Structure 1
Amino acid sequence: MSELFNTSMVLTADPPAGFRYQMAAVSDSTLMATALRFGGSNRTDAEEFPQFIVAHAVAGRHRWSVGQESGDGRIPFLVPPATAFSARFTQLQLRAVSLDADTFHRVLRGMLGEEPPRLRTDRVNGSAQRHSIVAETLRFIEATLLADETVATSPLLRAQFTHQLVATIATSFPLLGEHSHTRAQSSPRTVRRAIAFMEEHVAEPITIGDVALAAGTSVRGLQLAFRRSYEMSPSAFLRRIRLEGAHADLMAADAGARTVREIAARWGFAHTGRFAHQYAEAYGEPPSHTLRR
């Protein structure tokens, strides 16, 4: 546990005879998804974590303390960096996702279109909203990253999960306090800068937040600009460019050496069925037919 969460942790089972432990985890230097199961009654303590952690107890009894707050793990909760944590739990099944603090700030900066204010990290759980969205985000990340190695090893898909996680945390927990920012003005030049950045970095794990930063606007400003210019979202435009990349790979691939699923994941498409539908709409045939040519 200490190695997994990169901090010193104490875990005590009471009584020891009832202790059981199972874990599944996918981790890199920025994002980690874990599914934890504990049998028996246990308690754990940590002085602090270096990352943001959001967790949800989907089964069992769970009571947590985060800084000066305490609560029931059946409602998703956030552990900010450098905040003391302890928990008491019985027959626990826990979903948890952690995100490197520097990555969180970088993605948030792209969403806001400016440097974020100093984040509020005390008493953020008591004022949290949209608990069901947080719970669904954790469920979705577990069901994709932990269940499918092809998805877990795709840099593009991991970047998408990171962006989704930051957006969920920032809109559900009052980290920004009463902050309101001035939206950067968008223009056709903004769209041109955004498209140039997308095309140059299409095979890299960029997000719409990264595109907005490169274009000199906020995510909201970028969305409005693309709606005016192309009647589509910047996410849809980036997906179209990546679909072109997948088409080129399918055309060039040896059918015996590569699969549609592998190519789809490389270009950021987590769901093969959805990818096949979008591909067929764009190119008039299923991707499997292109691969067999």
Structure 2
Amino acid sequence: MLRDEAAGAMPGFIAGPGGSGGRVAVSTHDRGEAAVILRRAYPRLRFDLGCADGPFVLRHSVVGDGRLSSTELVLAGRARASGTHPDGVVAVGEVLGGRLSLEPARSGVDPARPFLRPPGPARMTSEDLHLRTTELDEPAFRAAAERYGHQGAPLRPGPGGAPSPSACAAWAWTASHIQRAARDPHVLDNPIVAGELFDLAVRTLLACFGDPDEDRGAVALDAPRSLRRAVGYLEEHALEPIAIPDVAAAARISVRSLQALFRRHLGVSPVEHLHAIRLEGARKELLRGAGGDCGSVRAVAERWGFGNSGRFARLYRARFGERPSETLRGRR
């Protein structure tokens, strides 16, 4: 049974640049209907959903406008797709569940990290996929990037992942925030709010995927040195017990200034940022699917500083949309 909350072609129905926000959400348990939905959503890709028996589900939603949008795709079972990704779009994908392999990318996508989707020819294979893609209009993105002193092509080509757990955590938080905000159809009607969301996406993109050969900070383009020192300390000592006064000392500022700095530039507290770094690290281990006691959910959680397995599972599911045991089971 097809459920369609808005009419029109899937991402094409969204208002053009400068238009107000839109939303589409469709779902079906029928492979034939799913094929139609996917053709409308991705007209340049050809999907093969197979014909296996058993439960099947497709869920596809898009929120945003022509300048900034967030797409979420849930596709059960195994699937293949081939064709081309469109030009004129800067797109970052995140595998929130299941498996995904993309070409061209000889080593495939690292599902533990956000990846920059390259335009042009591509082939994809997936299994029980849960994918979120954040897309920015490329001309608008490049114009914004130039305001921050980035000329030409400021992003590293190919689907390489973000360079550090901190950057991964920053992008995951940004993408989730954009998705939640854009679900309100009136948010993007406000040019101030829409501009702030787009600016946040641009700055985080440049921080996560900017050319490492250029001289720029790893946290944000205009991040103070004290913030970079603090984040560097959290990353370096993520597997060790960390006290906030130690972080402040490493950043050479007071605890109060440290808290304010993280809130102002990252939108979270130092402890929340540390949790994000540790969750990303734990997820990466679980996605490797290591066997034995050292690869159990409990062992991974404890190694990354989560002594309470129940709390770890709640934080993990809130961040990645699945239980840690599901991630581990999916990679074995």
Q: Report the TM-score, using the length of structure 1 for normalisation.
A: 0.53
Correspondence 1:179 to 2:214: yes
The Cα offsets for residues 61-115 of structure 1, whole Å up to 9 and x where unpaired, read as: 22223455522333211114x3433322122221111111101101101122xx6
Distance in 1 of aligned mates of 2:107 and 2:143: 27
Matched residue, 2:189: 153
- Structure 1 residue 35: deviation in Å? 1.5
The answer for the alignment partner of 1:52 in structure 2 is 90
Corresponding position of 1:8: 44
Secondary structure of residue in 1 paired with 2:90: strand
Alpha-carbon RMSD: 3.1
TM-superposed CA distance for 1:167, in Å, is: 1.0
Q: Does structure 1 conserve the Cα–Cα contact (< 8 Å) formed by 2:109 and 2:159?
A: no
Q: CA deviation at 1:132?
A: 1.4
Does residue 95 in structure 1 map to residue 120 in structure 2? no
Is 2:106 aligned against 1:71? no
Deviation, 1:2, is 5.5
Among the aligned pairs, what percent are the same residue? 18
Q: Match for 2:47: what amino acid?
A: L
Q: Within 1, Cα distance between the matches of 2:136 and 2:92?
A: 9
SS of 2:108 mapped into structure 1: strand
**Alpha-carbon deviation of 1:42?**
1.0
Q: Structure 1 residues 120, 54: CA separation in 2 closer, same or farther (over 3 Å shift)?
A: closer
Q: Which secondary structure state, in structure 1, belongs to the residue aligned with residue 181 of structure 2?
A: helix
User: What CA distance in whole angstroms lies between the structure 2 residues aligned with 1:77 and 1:127?
Assistant: 7
Q: Which runs of no fewer than 5 residues in structure 2 stay unpaired?
A: 1-37, 225-260, 265-332
Find the residue that maps to 2:186 and give its secondary structure.
helix
**Distance in 1 (alpha carbons) for counterparts of 2:122 and 2:161:** 15
Aligned partner letter, 2:214: H
The letter for the 2-side match of 1:76 is P
Equivalent residue, structure 1, for 2:179: 142
> Closer, same or farther in 2 for the Cα pair 1:9/1:151, shift >3 Å?
same
CA distance in 2, matches of 1:83, 1:121: 15
Query: Is 1:118 the counterpart of 2:156 in the alignment?
Result: no
Confirm or deny: 8 A CA contact 1:55 1:94 kept in the other structure.
yes
Q: Structure 1 pair 78/28, CA: closer, same or farther in 2 (3 Å)?
A: same
Distance 1:67 1:101, change over 3 A: farther
Q: Distance in 1 between matches of 2:212 and 2:175?
A: 24
Write the deviation string for residues 242-276 of structure 1: whole angstroms up to 9, x where unpaired: xxxxxxxxxxxxxxxxxxxxxxxxxxxxxxxxxxx
CA distance in 1, matches of 2:176, 2:161: 22
- 2:69 corresponds in structure 1 to 32
Aligned partner of 2:198 in structure 1 is 162
Determine if contact 1:68/1:123 at 8 Å carries over to the other structure: no
Residue 39 of structure 1: CA displacement?
Answer: 1.5
2:99 is aligned with 1:61? yes
Cα deviations by residue, 1:102-145 (Å, 9 ceiling, x for unpaired): 01101101122xx6133454346156331111111111112221
Cα deviations by residue, 1:20-70 (Å, 9 ceiling, x for unpaired):
211111242221111211112112223232211101111222222345552
Counterpart-to-counterpart distance in 2, 1:84 and 1:119: 21
**For 2:130 and 2:159, how far apart are their aligned partners in 1?**
23
Q: Flag structure 1 segments of 5+ consecutive residues without an equivalent.
A: 182-217, 222-232, 237-293
Pair 1:75–1:16, CA change in 2 (3 A):
same
Provide the aligned length of Structure 1 versus Structure 2. Answer: 182
CA contact (8 A) 2:92 2:133 kept: yes
Q: Which has the larger radius of gyration?
A: 1
| AA of the residue aligned to 1:63 | S
Aligned to 2:306: none
Distance 1:159 1:66, change over 3 A: farther
Give me the TM-score of the superposition, normalised by structure 2.
0.48
User: Hey, what's the Cα distance between the residues in 2 that align with 1:177 and 1:103?
Assistant: 22
